[in-house]
């Protein structure tokens, strides 16, 4: 009888590995549970992360049998509008890669052009290399990556940083994952102008804007995490707020929802401070009322007959 493969799960058949047991032992179920609890929607993106985890689990199993396994290319492009969860998913990706032994440390380093590109000759290479040194063993998240490339400026040093990044992405892909992030149309132009990046990025993931119901759920989860909740009337008004705010400039999905609720908490605090009808109850301190939402400037110009009515 052949001996069990090195690292085979207890109870597994000789010469076999149990991927499900490996998955449980890696701690990944906890990460994916947190992902589902913390992030609303994004089903296709969550599925992609599970597929990447499955690939790495299978690669690890193949290594136990001495099967040749080349380090997969896991550099990524995250495209979408602000507040759609790109940075949060990058954090989860770093944790997944660390649990599966793909990277040594599993940390996330977030940078922009200013962290990578210098303003004078000889300044860019040291800056870029220092960032790469900090990110080694983890994930480097470059936000608004298209600003690295400025062809209209002949004296721009972004191209020097790009060349260093491309070299490291190719030669150190077993110890560093680079995620490029930004608006979809600008990232497309960036990849067209820099084909070396496109050939090194294996996963292009688009983050869609959230729908109104998803944004309402995001808001309620954010409040719950801070031990607040919306009254039934406030929930109906907040749904109206979301519908109005989405159509205004500079809307940033979950980020705008968080900012709106922060302002609602300020109004609630001011309202409670001005009360003179006795001590406050737990409900007083935890419930956001409709008036705390209605005071928003978003409702300016909305006909009185439409404000405060439950959405149909």
CB of 86 within 8 A of CB of 207? yes
pLDDT band at 301 (very low <50, low <70, confident <90, very high): low
Q: Is the pLDDT of residue 121 over 90?
A: no
CB of 201 within 8 A of CB of 75? yes
Q: Where are the domains of the chain?
A: 73-207, 212-299
Distance CA 74, CA 56 (A): 10
What would the pLDDT profile of 191-224 be if each residue is shown by its tens digit? 998 888 888 898 999 999 999 999 999 999 999 9
The confidence score (pLDDT) of residue 129 equals: 94
Count the residues in the chain. Answer: 312
Structure tokens at 39: 């992030």
Residue with structure tokens 């070299």?
Answer: 167
Per DSSP bridges, beta strands 76-80 and 108-111 are unpaired
73-207 fold: Rossmann fold (3.40.50)
DSSP of 205-269: EEEPPPPHHHHHHHHHHHHHHTT-EE-HHHHHHHHHHHHHHTTSTT--THHHHHHHHHHHHHHHH
Residue range 212-299 forms a domain whose CATH class is mainly alpha
pLDDT band at 154 (very low <50, low <70, confident <90, very high): low
Structure tokens at 299: 């409702």
* Residue 230: Cβ within 10 Å count: 24
The confidence score (pLDDT) of residue 125 equals: 92
* Residue 246: Cβ within 10 Å count: 15
The confidence score (pLDDT) of residue 302 equals: 57
Cα 223 vs. chain centroid, distance in angstroms? 19
pLDDT band at 237 (very low <50, low <70, confident <90, very high): very high
* Residue 67: Cβ within 10 Å count: 9
The confidence score (pLDDT) of residue 296 equals: 93
């Amino acid at each position: 009888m052949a001996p069990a493969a090195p690292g085979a799960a207890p109870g597994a058949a000789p010469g076999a590995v149990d991927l499900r047991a490996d998955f449980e032992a890696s701690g990944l179920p906890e990460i994916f549970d947190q992902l589902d609890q913390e992030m609303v929607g994004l089903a296709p993106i969550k599925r992609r992360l599970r597929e990447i985890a499955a690939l790495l689990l299978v690669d690890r199993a193949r290594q136990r049998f001495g099967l040749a396994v080349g380090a997969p290319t896991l550099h990524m492009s995250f495209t979408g509008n602000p507040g759609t969860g790109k940075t949060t998913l990058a954090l989860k990706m770093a944790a997944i890669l660390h649990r599966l032994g793909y990277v040594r440390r599993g940390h996330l380093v977030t940078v922009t052009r200013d962290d990578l590109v210098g303003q004078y000759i000889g300044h860019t290479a040291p800056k870029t290399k220092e960032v790469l040194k900090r990110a080694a063993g983890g994930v480097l998240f470059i936000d608004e990556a298209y600003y690295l490339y400025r062809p209209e400026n002949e004296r721009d040093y972004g191209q020097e940083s790009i060349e260093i990044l491309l070299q490291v992405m190719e030669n150190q892909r077993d110890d560093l994952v680079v995620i490029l992030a930004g608006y979809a149309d600008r990232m497309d132009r960036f990849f067209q102008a820099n084909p070396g990046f496109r050939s090194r990025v294996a996963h292009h993931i688009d983050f869609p804007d959230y729908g109104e119901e998803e944004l309402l759920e995001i808001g309620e989860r954010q409040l719950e995490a801070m031990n607040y909740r919306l009254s039934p009337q406030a929930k109906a008004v907040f749904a109206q707020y979301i519908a109005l705010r989405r159509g205004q400039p500079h809307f940033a999905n979950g980020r705008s929802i968080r900012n709106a609720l922060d302002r609602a908490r300020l109004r609630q605090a001011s309202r409670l401070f001005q009360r003179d009808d006795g001590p406050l109850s737990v409900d007083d301190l935890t419930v956001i009322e409709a008036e705390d939402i209605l005071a928003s400037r978003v409702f300016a110009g909305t006909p009185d007959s439409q404000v405060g009515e439950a959405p149909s």
